[in-house]
C-alpha cells in the first residue's frame, strides 16, 4: 500500500535519466552540425582564397609581360622587369600555399563527416551576405536558458538526483502492506466440497534501526544533489559566456566585412588608375606593384570577414541551443 514513496521516486528517477539521455543526444547532434558547418565554410573560404591567389598570379604575369615589352622599346628599366619577376614568383608561392590550405580544409571536412578522404563531392557556395543581428543580447541569453539541450540535460540530471534523494529517504519511511491469502485443501471424495480458507491483513513496518548504511546513502545522495546544482549554475554561466563571446565575434566580423567591402572598392579604383598610367609611362613600377598587393590583401580580408561572420553565426546558434541542419 505504501512503501515510503520508493516506487514513485524510482519512476521519477527513470524518467529524469531518460530525459537527460535524450537532451544529451540532441546536444551531441548540434555539436556535430556545428563542426561540419564550420569546416564546410572553411573549405569555401579556402577555395575563394585560392581563386584570389590565382587571379593575383595572372595579374603579376600580365604586368611582367607589359614591363618586358616596355623594356624592349626603352620605356622601362631592367630593374622594373626584375621587380615583376619577383612579384610573379611570390604570387606563385602564395597560390601553392592557398591550394595546399584548400586540400587540408577539404580533408578536415571529410574527417568530421566520416567519409573516405578519396571521395569527391561538390560544395555549393554561399549566395547571401552577412546581415546584422535583430535579437538583443538579453533575449538570446534567455533563449539559451530555455532551449539549450546541454542545459536541459543538466536540469534533468538534477531532477534525477532529487529522485535519488527521495529514494534514499524512503528507507526511513514506514511501510504498509496488505496481505491476502486464499487456501484450498483437497479431501478424498470427488464432490466439490473440499475445504477452503482465506485470510487478509495489514502489516506495518517501522524502520527503527538498519545500521548506518541507509543514513550514509542519504547523505551521499544529498551531496551529489548539491554537486549537480552547482554544475547547473556553472553550465548556465558558461553558456552565457559563449553567447556573449559568439555575439561579439559576429559583430566584429560584420564590421570588418563592411570595412573590407569599402576598401576593396577604393583599392580597385586606385589600381585601375595606376595601371592605366603605368601603361603609358606616367606611373612608377613600384606604385603599381604596391597597389596590386594592397588590393589583393583587401579582397582576402573581405573573404575572411564574410566566412568568419557565418562561422560566428553558427557558433552563436550553437551557444543558444537552436542550431539546425
For residue 246, pLDDT over 90 is answered with yes
Residue among 291, 31, 12 nearest 157 (CA): 12
> Picking from 92-96, 132-136, 177-181, 235-239, which range would have the lowest pLDDT averaged per residue?
177-181
pLDDT, tens only, 41-59: 999 999 999 999 999 999 9
Tell me how far apart the alpha carbons of residues 40 and 115 are, in angstroms, rounded to a whole number.
13
Q: How many CB atoms lie within 10 A of CB 187?
A: 9
Range of the domain at 69: 6-320
End-to-end CA distance of the chain: 50
Residue among 119, 139, 128, 111 nearest 38 (CA): 111
pLDDT of residue 12: 85
Establish if 1 belongs to a structural domain: no
Residue among 122, 127, 129 nearest 43 (CA): 122
pLDDT of residue 168: 80
pLDDT of residue 258: 96
pLDDT of residue 196: 65
Establish if 325 belongs to a structural domain: no
As to burial, measured by CB atoms within 10 angstroms (0-12 exposed, 13-18 middle, 19+ buried), residue 71 is middle
Establish if 226 belongs to a structural domain: yes
Is the separation of the CB atoms in 140 and 243 below 8 Å? yes
The cell numbers describing 147, all together, are 532551449
The total domain count for the chain is: 1
How much is the average pLDDT of 205-226? 75
Establish if 112 belongs to a structural domain: yes
Query: What is the residue whose three cell numbers read 579604383?
Result: 269
How many CA atoms are closer than 13 Å to the CA of 112, on its beta-carbon side?
A: 18
H helix count then E strand count, the chain = 6, 2
C-alpha triplet 245, 251, 255: angle, nearest 5°: 145
- Strands in the chain per DSSP E: 175-185, 195-205
pLDDT, tens only, 262-298: 999 999 999 999 988 887 777 888 899 999 999 999 9
Distance of CA 21 to the CA centre of its chain: 19
Establish if 34 belongs to a structural domain: yes
Residues in the chain: 325
pLDDT of residue 44: 96
* pTM score: 0.81
pLDDT of residue 285: 82
Q: What is the CATH number of the domain that holds 300?
A: 1.20.1600.10
For residues 169 and 95, which has the higher predicted lDDT (pLDDT)? 95
Distances (CA, A) of 171 to 13, 115, 192: 16, 53, 47
Amino acid at each position: 500500500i505504501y512503501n515510503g514513496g520508493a516506487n514513485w521516486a524510482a519512476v521519477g528517477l527513470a524518467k529524469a535519466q531518460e530525459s537527460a539521455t535524450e537532451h544529451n543526444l540532441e546536444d551531441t547532434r548540434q555539436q556535430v552540425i556545428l563542426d561540419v558547418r564550420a569546416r564546410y565554410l572553411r573549405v569555401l573560404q579556402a577555395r575563394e582564397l585560392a581563386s584570389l591567389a590565382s587571379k593575383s598570379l595572372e595579374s603579376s604575369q600580365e604586368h611582367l609581360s607589359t614591363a618586358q615589352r616596355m623594356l624592349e622599346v626603352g620605356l622601362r628599366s631592367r630593374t622594373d622587369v626584375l621587380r615583376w619577376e619577383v612579384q610573379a614568383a611570390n604570387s606563385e608561392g602564395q597560390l601553392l600555399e592557398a591550394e595546399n590550405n584548400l586540400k587540408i580544409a577539404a580533408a578536415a571536412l571529410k574527417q568530421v563527416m566520416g567519409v573516405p578522404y578519396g571521395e569527391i563531392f561538390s560544395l555549393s557556395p554561399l549566395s547571401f551576405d552577412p546581415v546584422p543581428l535583430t535579437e538583443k543580447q538579453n533575449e538570446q541569453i534567455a533563449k539559451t536558458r530555455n532551449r539549450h539541450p546541454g542545459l536541459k540535460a543538466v536540469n534533468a540530471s538534477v531532477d534525477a538526483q532529487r529522485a535519488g534523494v527521495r529514494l534514499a529517504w524512503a528507507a526511513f519511511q514506514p511501510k504498509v502492506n496488505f496481505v491476502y491469502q486464499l487456501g484450498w485443501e483437497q479431501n478424498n471424495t470427488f464432490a466439490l466440497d473440499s475445504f477452503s480458507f482465506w485470510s487478509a491483513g495489514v502489516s506495518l513496518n517501522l524502520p527503527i534501526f538498519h545500521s548506518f548504511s541507509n543514513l550514509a546513502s542519504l547523505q551521499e545522495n544529498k551531496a551529489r544533489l548539491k554537486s549537480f546544482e552547482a554544475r547547473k549554475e556553472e553550465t548556465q554561466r558558461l553558456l552565457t559566456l559563449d553567447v556573449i563571446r559568439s555575439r561579439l565575434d559576429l559583430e566584429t566580423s560584420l564590421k570588418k566585412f563592411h570595412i573590407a567591402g569599402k576598401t576593396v572598392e577604393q583599392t580597385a579604383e586606385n589600381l585601375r588608375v595606376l595601371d592605366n598610367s603605368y601603361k603609358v609611362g606616367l606611373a612608377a613600377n613600384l606604385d603599381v606593384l604596391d597597389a596590386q598587393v594592397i588590393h589583393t590583401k583587401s579582397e582576402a580580408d573581405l573573404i575572411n570577414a564574410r566566412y568568419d561572420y557565418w562561422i560566428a553565426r553558427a557558433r552563436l546558434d550553437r551557444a543558444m541551443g537552436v542550431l539546425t541542419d
